[in-house]
Chain A
Amino acid sequence: MLITKSKKSNISIIILVFLILIVCSASLFIFATSDKKVKVKISDVGLIQDAQLKQEVAEFYIYEAIEKSMVNPYREMLNQDKYIESPSYNLQNKIEFANLYGNLNDYFYSEFRNRFKNEFENYAFQEEYLNNLKNLIAQDKFSSSFDGENLIFETSLLEIKSTSEKNSVVYFPEIFLNISFSRIGLNSFNAIYNSKEKCKGKETAELMKACFSNELGAFDAESAEKIISEEKKYFLISLTSKKKFLIENNFEKISFEFVAI
């Protein structure tokens, strides 16, 4: 009986030792593995930041291409009088601005879209995600719209891969860009038309100039009184953009003139 009691007490000691061993090993194991978890979390943050950096670069190039593709058709439409509905010319061969071209927004938008795609084709990227963007635009896998003032570009199909030693992330960012004429230093055709409607009744060239300058923030206005005959006179309005744009190889201001009727 006593011998069995002694054996029982030995077993309890052995169990105690093993329990301590198990508790220590388990806590060390948890300590070691939780350390790895922290590492994964930290590297994930790095990957997300890397993806965000790439998204910003992609947005930079899209913005660049949109800006160029908006300025050039805008300038051409003004120079070729395509913003005016059924353009007519007075006796001194000056264009008379009565109404805006009815399909102006559609025309501008189709011109913009073609140029935007051409612009992007000329970009020679080295990074995979930027080439994905280039392909996406070439294949029309983006949506855009134009309401006369704002050009909206949207896509959620751009694939951005970020890899580290241990992990890799595939990220599809929601890219949404809203670029307005005022943001690129111009006034919309509607704003020009509205200012013309407001100012056309002014009686002197000075008042006309002040009115246009007041209405159109992106342009410097000039107004000159022209006489056709003793009874007939008109005001020639010249608008010149305050901002210079890089057109081909030079900085140029956008300027155009019309007779407000």
Chain B
Amino acid sequence: MKRKKLFFQKKAQAGTTLSWFVAVFVILFILVLYFIFAGLLAAERYVPLIGKGGNKISIAKTNEDFKAQKKLFYLLNFPLEEGETIKELIILSELHQDKEAEKKFKENSEIILKSSEEGQKECDLLLINDELIYNNLFKGIIIEGKIPAMYKTDFGYAEIFLFSNQQQINARLYSGKC
């Protein structure tokens, strides 16, 4: 009887050990899968090649737009020696073909953009009614006043319309790192 008891005890112990052996492999397999998936999820956040990539790009772009808009307003409202502003000179030049005003605003645009807060670190491209006025930003070719779409995400962008006598003038500024 005792022998029989011992035989059954050993058999039960062997069964339990085998169960644990299999369980350890299953647990290890689950953990390996866990690390792989966790790694993939982490990579999706930080490596642009996997999944949709990082999200920081969209924030950077809107910040750049903010800077570009601030700069464009700064330029348009900048008063010259007798209080006339760049936007007034643009209106005179574009709508009333005033050559003196045209010369004055073209000459001053570069100086004003460079004197702005960000002007020292950043380059700009200014277009008035699709005509290139000033550019130290974009090296490529600009056709019909349009920067190729693939570059647009690299630069901040601001646009404003100036109105006078039921006519409008389009002023656009691209701004980005030199």
Chain A residue with minimal CB distance to B52? A39
User: Chain A, 90-128, contact with B by CB distance < 8 Å: what is the 0/1 string?
Assistant: 000000000000000000000000000000001111000
Chain B residue with minimal CB distance to A243? B83
Once A2-B9, A17-B27, A123-B163 are accepted as A-B contacts, the answer to whether A24 and B34 lie under 8 Å apart by CB is: yes
Rounded to whole Å, the gap between the CB of A82 and the closest CB of chain B is 24
Rounded to whole Å, the gap between the CB of B168 and the closest CB of chain A is 6
Q: Give the residues in chain B near A2, CB-CB below 8 Å.
A: 8-9, 12
Q: Which of A1-25 contact B (CB under 8 A)?
A: 2-3, 5-6, 9-10, 13-14, 16-17, 20-21, 24
User: Is B120 in contact with chain A by the CB < 8 A criterion?
Assistant: no
User: Is B132 in contact with chain A by the CB < 8 A criterion?
Assistant: no
Q: Are B96 and A249 in contact (CB under 8 A)?
A: yes
The range of chain B's interface size is 35 or more
Q: Which of A123-165 contact B (CB under 8 A)?
A: 123-125
Q: Which of A59-98 contact B (CB under 8 A)?
A: 60, 64
User: Is A42 in contact with chain B by the CB < 8 A criterion?
Assistant: yes
Q: Are A20 and B62 in contact (CB under 8 A)?
A: no
Once A42-B56, A60-B160 are accepted as A-B contacts, the answer to whether A28 and B62 lie under 8 Å apart by CB is: no
Q: Are B30 and A249 in contact (CB under 8 A)?
A: no
Rounded to whole Å, the gap between the CB of A161 and the closest CB of chain B is 16
A56 to B77, CA, bound (A): 14
Q: Give the residues in chain A near B8, CB-CB below 8 Å.
A: 2-3
Pick the residue among A5, A31, A39, A124 that contacts B168 (CB under 8 A): A124
Rounded to whole Å, the gap between the CB of B81 and the closest CB of chain A is 10
Rounded to whole Å, the gap between the CB of A56 and the closest CB of chain B is 6
Spot the interface stretch: B84-92, B105-113, B135-143. Answer: B84-92
Q: Are A32 and B41 in contact (CB under 8 A)?
A: yes
Rounded to whole Å, the gap between the CB of B117 and the closest CB of chain A is 16
Spot the interface stretch: A44-52, A168-176, A189-197. Answer: A44-52
Q: Are A42 and B55 in contact (CB under 8 A)?
A: yes
User: Is A244 in contact with chain B by the CB < 8 A criterion?
Assistant: yes
Rounded to whole Å, the gap between the CB of A111 and the closest CB of chain B is 20
Pick the residue among B9, B16, B38, B160 that contacts A57 (CB under 8 A): B160
Q: Are B92 and A28 in contact (CB under 8 A)?
A: no
Interface residues of A (CB under 8 A from B): 2-3, 5-6, 9-10, 13-14, 16-17, 20-21, 24, 27-28, 31-32, 35, 38-39, 42-43, 45-46, 49-50, 52-53, 56-57, 60, 64, 122-125, 185, 242-246, 249-251
Q: List 30 A-B contacts (CB under 8 A).
A: A13-B19, A14-B23, A16-B27, A17-B30, A20-B31, A24-B30, A27-B34, A31-B41, A39-B55, A42-B58, A42-B59, A46-B62, A49-B63, A49-B66, A53-B62, A53-B65, A53-B66, A53-B69, A56-B69, A56-B73, A60-B160, A122-B163, A122-B165, A124-B166, A125-B161, A245-B83, A246-B164, A249-B92, A251-B82, A251-B84
Which 8 pairs across A and B sit closest by C-beta, in order of nearness? A243-B83, A24-B34, A49-B62, A246-B88, A6-B12, A13-B23, A42-B55, A244-B82
